[in-house]
Amino acid sequence: MSASAPTTPGTPHPAQKSGRLRTFWQRVSEGRAVDDLWSQFAADAKSSYGFYGKDVDWAEINKLPRRKRVFRIASQFFWALMNKLSPARRVLLLVALLFLLLSVINIHNGPDSSSGMNFEIFAAILLLLLLSLELADKVIMKRDLEIAREIQAWLVPSTPPAIPNAEVAFHTRPQNSVAGDYYDVFYPGAPAETGGKLMLVMADVAGKSVPAALLMATLQASLHTIAPEGLSLTDLMVRLNRYACAHSMDGGRFTTAVVAEYDPSTQLLYYVNAGHNSPVVRRSDGSITRLESGGLPLGIMRDSNFPTASLQLSHGDALILFTDGVVEAFNGGGEEYSDLRWVNLILRMPPLSAQDSLNFLMRDVDQFVGATRQSDDITLLVLRCK
């Protein structure tokens, strides 16, 4: 019989060591496969390159001889990183880099030239301190953004309302913790059972993250204040535009929007498209109708006009509202999803429920994108007539 190798008392068994390593790795990687981790790292690296690359003067670099470009790019990326730090942390980083340089000099001059100081340890401690300070800021900001995201989630419907002879589904995916996209489905007056009309909204505030989210909240509050007054769509949009112009920084923060009024009893749709991506109506016979733009985006010109158009829907028709994050989604190769691909997908869409139709559309976008981190919010709403 074979005997197991003896172990020194108090020494962990190899199987225990292996188990601890697995536990440690599971904790660090959160159980993700190596390929998934690499894809996430590649996406983060690409996003960081684009973030810091905005501060690089590429026009100036392209004028330089090729042999000088690498140094100039590295230099500008370094200063782009430095400018993101506070002055105290810039000094901390420079001191850490100085210690690294001194450690390299000691290594190249040989052990006899060593001053007796382990510069690598000092550099590592300073870099770890700098990392901890930056992480603390990020954690605090992430916590605040999560709270903002919860508040923003209260501003949009979480469950679809009941609609006679129709159903609706919606989905949004912020590029950051909070989004500038806005969707809504609500009855501003009486419910459908007593002849009320349903309001459908899809909007996209120019910009990203917190500034766009704040304007999105302003738009939502303005709409829910004005809509119950019973104005026509044109008058409602004029009022919304005045609110938007008051907070648009002279047109720098405009909002594209589609606002529609749907009558469940007649299945008649009135709508205004203020510079937004043209929604698509997939007819039951397989044909396509686009709801084209009928005015400037909100917040650009105070005296803008917003003409109303109408469209008769019928059994089996599907109205699809979306933001530009859908058609401008890109894959790992930088290829854009495109409006043409989107329309062709809708043409192939089988006669499904509103939720299944939404899942069908989003699945194709997700497969195209893969693990690539997107640069814009993605929002989709589907109204299916029964």
pLDDT at 112: 53
pLDDT at 78: 87
Q: 138: how many CB neighbours lie within 10 A of its CB?
A: 10
Between CA 231 and CA 306 the distance in angstroms is 13
Secondary structure element (H or E) that encloses residue 34, with its range: helix 34-53
Q: Give Cβ neighbours of residue 209 (< 8 Å, ≥ 6 apart).
A: 175, 176, 177, 178, 180
- CB atoms under 10 Å from CB of 93, counted, come to 17
What distance lies between CA 235 and its chain's CA centroid? 32
Handedness of CA 251, 253, 257, 259 (dihedral sign): negative
pLDDT score, position 250: 63
pLDDT confidence of residue 1: 45
Q: Minimal CA–CA distance to 200: which of 364, 313, 344?
A: 313
Q: What pLDDT does 2 receive?
A: 47
The per-residue pLDDT for 230 is 85
> Percentages helix, strand, coil for the chain, rounded to the nearest 5?
50, 15, 35
* Structural domain spans, the chain: 28-151, 158-385
Residue ranges of the chain whose pLDDT lies below 70: 1-17, 106-117, 144-145, 148-149, 152, 176-179, 190-195, 207-209, 248-252
The pLDDT of residue 134 = 86
Q: How many CA atoms lie within 13 A of 42 on its CB side?
A: 12
* Per-residue model confidence (pLDDT) at position 99: 87
Model-wide pTM > 0.85 = no
pLDDT reported for residue 166: 93
The vertex-362 CA angle with 214 and 198, nearest 5°, equals 60
Distance CA 382, CA 201 (A): 11
Residues 6+ apart with CB under 8 A from 336: 327, 328, 329, 330
Rg (Cα) of the chain, in Å, rounded? Answer: 28
Spatial neighbors of 324 by CB under 8 A, at least 6 apart, are 204, 256, 277, 376
If one looks up domain 158-385 in CATH, what number appears? 3.60.40.10
